[in-house]
A and B are shown apart, each in its own frame.
Chain A
Amino acid sequence: MTITAHFLRETAHCCAGISSSSLLTWRHLRRLAPLAPAWLPGVAQAAYSFNFPEPVTPIARETLHIHNEFMLIITVLFVVVFAIMIYSMIRHRKSVGHQAARFSGPRGALQWFWALVPFAILLFIDFVLMGIPAVKAVINMEDTQTRADMVLKVTGMQWKWQYEYPEAGIKFISTLATPRDQIANAEAKGEHYLLEVDQPVVLPVGKKVRVLLTSTDVIHTWWVPQFGVKRDAIPGFLRETWVLIEKPGIYRGQCAELCGKDHGFMPVVVHAVPEPEYLAWVDSKKAEAKAAAGSSERTWSKDELIAAGKEVYEKQCVACHQSEGQGLPPAFPALAGSKVIAGPLFDMNGKPAKDGHVDRVMNGKAGTAMQAFRNTLSDVELAAVITFERNSFGNQQGDMVQPAQIKALR
């Protein structure tokens, strides 16, 4: 986490408001600071960030500006008010022989004037000094449609993000890439611990992107601090926001709404690249999708399916059903020895058996965290992961599902 000199300067006066309130404590912190790395083996960098990270969109810049301005205002209020109080606490003490006055309210015009001045000042601060920039910023923030260049659809699901580019016809899921061993402290943590994904969103720099948000299960919140954008993804509804990234780079954020067990493990990573690079990426993604579609036509061997299925399992299923298929009962049932897996795949008419393995994976189970993967996984991925589960964790069904069979069900 690097902070530019500019931000340090901003920080110095902006955060004075908060820290001056507790000078004692603050000094305390500073003294403790050098100790921090000693407490935290394996954490190389000592990062003290006192303000928003560097803004890279117009909204984030405006937000930072407003934040800094407000911090300045409340710091002044804080200092003035409590300077008066502290002055009084020093001067008007019994121990220095001060005699208590007996007044209990404003008397006379002058005192009424002095009592009403703070009220008027605050009225001015609230509705003019803070109010006007706030109104401007909100109107700007909510204007998602004017001159929007493209649309990105973001779908939150427990506990990953699906990104869809409707104009380009691209759709993929982005999941946490940090190995579980790092989370369990079994291996050293990487630089972008918990803020790295397998497939980042790629967006062009300098284009206004209208972001549509929804969810398949519970409420999630899509947040990238450097974009100044945070918006809820609500199941059954569309919400929208927009970003216009001004600078190429990799931007990281997280889900901000408690969404269940792995709420802390569904990061957002955005690669902002110049437009030609973006277009090349779109082409490569399209080619990838085409190849995947082609591969669902051919017949796969069981070993191929199991190998591919293991990869899918480790991205999509492992969070709940766990690495050995033991699950986390009762909320997340075990796959090892599962009755669903032991049952038949298809019924007599060639349809997926009701509450059978294929049905469960494709359609999910209502009222539980088991989601429908019909629209989030490809034919090959579905066939592979089902085949893998039937032949792992001690399950020995011995059969398999071909991608073509899944395709026929759609």
Chain B
Amino acid sequence: MNTATTTQPTPHDAGHYPGGLMRWLTTTNHKDIGTMYLTFSLIMFFVGGLMILAVRAELFQPGLQLMQPEFFNQLIGVHALVMIFAALMPAATGFANWMLPLMIGAPDMALPRLNNWGFWLLPPAAILLTLPFTLALFGIGDGAIATGWTFYAPLSVQGGMGVDFAILAVHILGISSIMGSINIIVTIFNMRAPGMTMMKLPLFAWGWLITAFLLIATLPVLAGAVTMLLTDRHFGTHFFDAAGGGDPILFQHLFWFFGHPEVYILLLPVWGLMPHVLATFSRKPTYGYKAQVYSFIAIGLLSVVVWAHHFFTAGLPVPALFYFMFSTMAISLPLAVLFFCWIATMWKGAMSFETPMLFAVVFIVLFGIAGLTGLILADVAADAQYHHSYFVVAHFHYALFAGGIMGVMTGVYYWLPKWTGHMYSEKLGKLHFWLTVISFNLTFMPQFFLGLAGMPRRIPDYALQFAEFNAMSTVGAFILGLSQLIFAWNIWCCVRGGPKVDGRVWEGAEGLEWELSSPPPHHSWETQPVIK
């Protein structure tokens, strides 16, 4: 074998993979798998989006117009599960698959078959999650999970078979994520180009490394919690039933032990990506590399010890309230370091504002709002008013839409020319950007005021004083939803054709991934580059 490889120096670039569907079913190539993750993510983004547009349409006016409360409750929960587990997380994993080997000079991911399996678990899980909607149409069961994405017991113990479907789906999604994480950790630890020490690792890889560890640390806890729920539902256990010596709040502790780190799981890959984009379009080196790495680590550690701030109103003991309040506030310190480094990277650069840079800049501002409102949400006294109100809904959409999804859009525009070899339409990109930013704020800014005025979340109908802001929010949501069609169209056109780009793509781009051609060959870095 050894001699065979040495006597055959030509890179087997020509695709010797099966054609058609079999190529995608059997592929172990990180680029193919990355493409599948990203495509799946985009499709599910629209599925989850359609669900919430139905919800916003119902909330346009007071009164029940389009649906009954049971269906409303199903839509909001499945929307969240789809967006978190099937849209945002696969997008980040898609980025990792595509970019990590290119960025660290590895020929592929370390565990290619595991990689393939990790992806192909996703479509069945997504089907499980949404199947109960279809079954209900045929009179089987009473629809999907109606507890919100948080599965709170005892409501979830009481719920119909949609809950069982969701539990199973979460298990499968969890297995997929853990396999993906193992792969990423192994790849980063073992397959870096010679000379690339950990402190020369691209920040995107650092962000993902912390994410992967968080996933491995916390997903098993979620799996345990939903399994306990399953046995409470069907096998007579009483983990969450006081009548049998259990405690409903135990579920909340277990769920949020996963649920809070999950926020950072969604955000860390994006935080890792931001410095690359900012440095590229500022034509200036990243500011405070080490500070950012240490901040990632600090945030990762802090994120697993602050979970109870999600249920301050459940009646925790006073010392616990203080502990969770101050540990939560402490997250603002490493986070502020990141903001400082992002802005310092831009400072005295030579900036230009192509679509990825526009998204990056607006990401910083809007995610800043999420961070600052998060800081005041940490306050136990004020949280009594914000908690379970639309204030929280607005807050976490600033974090997860503006922070998460707009971050993903930044990455897509930044790397799309690298992936396809074509430049996307800058005009459509900018149009998409402006429509998204304006309609996003039109959707979610009024929700801060709704929450302050006292509108609880997860209600299908509301009192008359909330009518105006809800109407605005719905108008914003529909513009936001429709604007994403431009995004999909722009990607489609860019994949199909467009002006050719060179390897570097952006004038200020630096890093190994830009040393390769655009698109990179099917097998890249067969000879590892050496970092000096």
Contact = CB atoms under 8 A, between A and B. Distances in A.
B348 A328 contact: no
A49 B286 contact: no
B172 interface: no
A218 interface: yes
B240 to A, nearest CB: 10
Given A28-B442, A98-B350, A104 B285 contact: yes
B457 to A, nearest CB: 8
Given A92-B351, A218-B154, A367-B158, A66 B382 contact: yes
Task: Specify which of B350, B365, B475 lies most central, judged by the most chain A CB atoms within 10 Å of its CB.
Answer: B350
A193 B313 contact: no
B288 A105 contact: yes
Interface in B319-353: 321-322, 325-326, 329-330, 332-333, 336-337, 339-340, 343, 346-352
B243 A236 contact: yes
Contact of A39 (B155, B243, B461, B471): B471
Contact of A63 (B73, B382, B472): B382
Given A21-B369, A71-B376, A260-B155, A230 B349 contact: no
B381 A240 contact: no
Interface string A55-78: 000010011001100110010011
Given A17-B372, A36-B471, A43 B62 contact: yes
Contact of B314 (A67, A77, A234, A368): A234
A103 B333 contact: no
Given A49-B465, A103-B287, A236-B242, 10 more contacts: A33-B468, A40-B468, A84-B343, A115-B340, A184-B64, A194-B62, A219-B248, A228-B385, A236-B243, A367-B158
16 contacts: A49-B449, A67-B385, A71-B376, A81-B368, A82-B365, A82-B368, A84-B343, A88-B347, A94-B283, A126-B326, A183-B64, A193-B463, A219-B155, A232-B314, A260-B146, A263-B73
B385 A63 contact: yes
Given A47-B468, A131-B329, A191-B464, A67 B387 contact: no
B175 to A, nearest CB: 28
Interface in B113-165: 141-142, 146-148, 152, 154-155, 157-158, 160
Interface of A: 1, 15, 17-19, 21-22, 24-26, 28-29, 32-33, 36, 39-40, 43, 45-53, 59, 62-63, 66-67, 70-71, 74, 77-78, 81-82, 84-85, 88-89, 92-95, 98-106, 115, 118-119, 122-123, 126-127, 130-131, 133-135, 137-139, 141-142, 182-185, 189, 191-195, 217-219, 221, 223, 225, 228-232, 234-237, 239-240, 252-265, 328, 330-331, 367-369
Nearest to B468: A36
Contact of A234 (B249, B290, B457): B249
Contacts of B442: 25, 28-29
A177 to B, nearest CB: 13
B284 interface: yes
A70 B379 contact: yes
A261 B69 contact: yes
5 closest A-B pairs by beta carbon, nearest first, are A236-B242, A264-B459, A137-B381, A225-B454, A25-B441
Contact of A92 (B314, B330, B348): B348
Given A74-B375, A185-B65, A122 B332 contact: yes
Interface string B248-262: 110000000000000
A19 B445 contact: yes
B389 interface: yes
A223 B379 contact: no
B368 A78 contact: yes
A76 to B, nearest CB: 10
B69 A263 contact: yes
A288 B508 CA distance: 81
A25 to B, nearest CB: 4
Given A74-B372, A217-B154, A264 B325 contact: no
Contacts of B69: 261-265
Given A119-B333, A240-B315, A29 B464 contact: no
Contacts of A234: 242, 248-249, 314-315
A232 B332 CA distance: 28
Interface string B72-111: 0100000000000000000000000000000000000000
Contact of B464 (A45, A105, A217): A45
Given A39-B471, A50-B449, A331 B387 contact: no
A258 B152 contact: yes
B385 to A, nearest CB: 6
B87 to A, nearest CB: 22
B326 A127 contact: yes
Nearest to B157: A367
Contact of A221 (B313, B329, B475): B313
A232 B153 CA distance: 13
A105 B458 CA distance: 46
A141 B330 CA distance: 23
Contacts of A141: 380-381, 384
B518 to A, nearest CB: 22
Given A78-B368, A230-B385, A26 B313 contact: no
Given A74-B376, A261-B69, A43 B467 contact: yes
Given A105-B289, A183-B461, A230-B384, A85 B333 contact: no
Contacts of A123: 333
A104 B289 contact: yes
Contacts of B336: 118-119, 122
A134 B379 CA distance: 6
B255 to A, nearest CB: 13
A101 B471 contact: no
Contacts of A84: 343, 347
A237 B284 contact: no
